[in-house]
Amino acid sequence: MRSTKPFSPGAQKRAQEADPNHMRCLVENSPNERGVEAVHVVPRELSADRKFMKAIEWSWKMRKGTLNLDTRRNVFFLGASLHSLYKSGLWALIPEEHIVDRFLSKPKGKFPGSHLWRERFPDLEDETFRYTFIPLADLSSFGITRQNQDTNLADPGAFTTHLHPFTTLPSFTSHVHPKYVILRMACLLSSYKAQIDPFIIHLRKTNSVVRKILKFNAAWASASLPFGAKADPSFVNVIPQAVEDREEEENAHIFMESQSDSEDSEPDTESSDGNSVCTPPRRIWYPPSSRIKAPRGTKRYSSEIEHSCSSSEHKGKHRKLLDDRNNAGSVPGSSWTKESISNWAYDCST
Structure-model confidence comparison of residues 332 and 72, the more confident one: 72
pLDDT of residue 206 exceeding 60? yes
Amino acid at 61: K
pLDDT of residue 18 exceeding 50? yes
DSSP code, position 172? E
Which of 199, 147, 137 has its CA nearest to residue 170? 147
Percentage of the chain exceeding pLDDT 70:
73
156 backbone dihedrals φ, ψ, rounded to 5°: -55, -25
pLDDT of residue 244 exceeding 50? no
Confidence of residue 103 (pLDDT cuts 50, 70, 90): very high
The CB density around residue 309, as the number of other CB atoms within 10 Å, is 11
Specify the pLDDT at position 135. Answer: 98
pLDDT of residue 277 exceeding 50? yes
Which of 22, 15, 67 has its CA nearest to residue 46? 67
The CB density around residue 86, as the number of other CB atoms within 10 Å, is 20
- Rounded Cα–Cα distance for residues 160 and 156 (Å): 9
Judged by DSSP in three states, 174 sits in strand
The length of the chain is: 350
Specify the pLDDT at position 350. Answer: 60
Confidence of residue 258 (pLDDT cuts 50, 70, 90): very low
pLDDT of residue 320 exceeding 60? no
CA distances from 233 to 60, 249, 270 (A): 15, 18, 26
Structure-model confidence comparison of residues 335 and 187, the more confident one: 187
At 27-56, the pLDDT tens digits run 999 999 999 999 999 999 999 999 999 999
Residue 339, CA atoms < 13 Å, CB-side half-sphere = 0
Rg (CA), the chain: 29
DSSP 59-83: HTT--TT---TTSGGGEEEEEHHHH
Given a contact cutoff of 8 angstroms between Cβ atoms, the answer to whether 94 and 212 are in contact is: no
The whole model's pTM is what? Answer: 0.74
- Rounded Cα–Cα distance for residues 104 and 120 (Å): 10
Confidence of residue 243 (pLDDT cuts 50, 70, 90): very low
- The mean pLDDT value for 4-19 works out to 90
- Among 74-83, 237-246, 338-347, which is the least confidently predicted range? 237-246
Given a contact cutoff of 8 angstroms between Cβ atoms, the answer to whether 47 and 284 are in contact is: yes
Which of 94, 87, 42, 90 has its CA nearest to residue 197? 90
Q: Angle at CA 203, nearest 5°, toward 111 and 207?
A: 45
The CB density around residue 18, as the number of other CB atoms within 10 Å, is 17
